[in-house]
Copies of this chain bind each other. A is one copy, B any other.
Amino acid sequence: MKSLSQASFLPVIHELARTYQAFEQFSSQHIRQLGLTPPQFDVVSTLGNSKGMNCKELSDRTLITKGTLTGVIDRLEDKGLVTRTMQPNDRRSVFITLTGHGEKLFAQAFPAHLDYMKIAFRRFGESDLSGFCQELGRLREGFSLALEEQEEAVV
């Protein structure tokens, strides 16, 4: 393995950022037509594929931090898409579910979004897709392990 002293990984970072931006731009164009922001769509999609969950789990799955999540849920509640209910077993916990209106939006918007996203993947076959997943997974592992190391060092 050669040394990386000349920062030969810079193009990887650049490509990752540009690829994500291209995805985000393409994806959000459709999401905004639904009257949602990307984080809001993320929450609705996560809830739509479940029977509801508390904020902690929702935060873990969407990677939205708890403080931010409160605001996102507030806005979804204002739109009548989700509800908060208290849990008798652990009264610290708040259970979030889609309302009927939210379920309806999910049932309509989620497949529509997949259909829209499909355009971007039309040129790829199954082996391409598993290749992407594998490479992205390895790359992610690099960042995750580095972050852990960093946090250990700080603590």
Oligomeric state, in copies: 2
Interface pair B22/A144, CB less than 8 Å apart: yes
Interface centre among A122, A146, A149 (most CB of B within 10 A): A146
Grouping DSSP codes into helix (H, G, I), strand (E, B) and loop, the A interface class, with mixed when no group exceeds half, is: helix
Residue interface mask A50-66, B partner, CB < 8 A = 1: 00000000000001000
**Partner pick for A25 among B12, B123, B138, B147, CB 8 A cutoff:** B147
Stretch from A3-11, A75-83, A87-95, A97-105 at the B interface: A3-11
Interface pair A19/B139, CB less than 8 Å apart: yes
Listed from nearest, the 6 A-B pairs whose CB atoms lie closest are A22-B143, A120-B146, A19-B140, A15-B136, A20-B20, A1-B125
Q: Interface on A for B, CB 8 Å cutoff? A: 1-2, 4, 7-13, 15-23, 25-27, 29, 63, 114, 117-126, 128-129, 131-133, 135-140, 142-147, 149-150
Supply 11 A–B pairs (Cβ within 8 Å), ascending by A: A11-B129, A15-B136, A16-B23, A16-B132, A18-B140, A120-B145, A122-B146, A124-B138, A132-B135, A132-B139, A135-B135
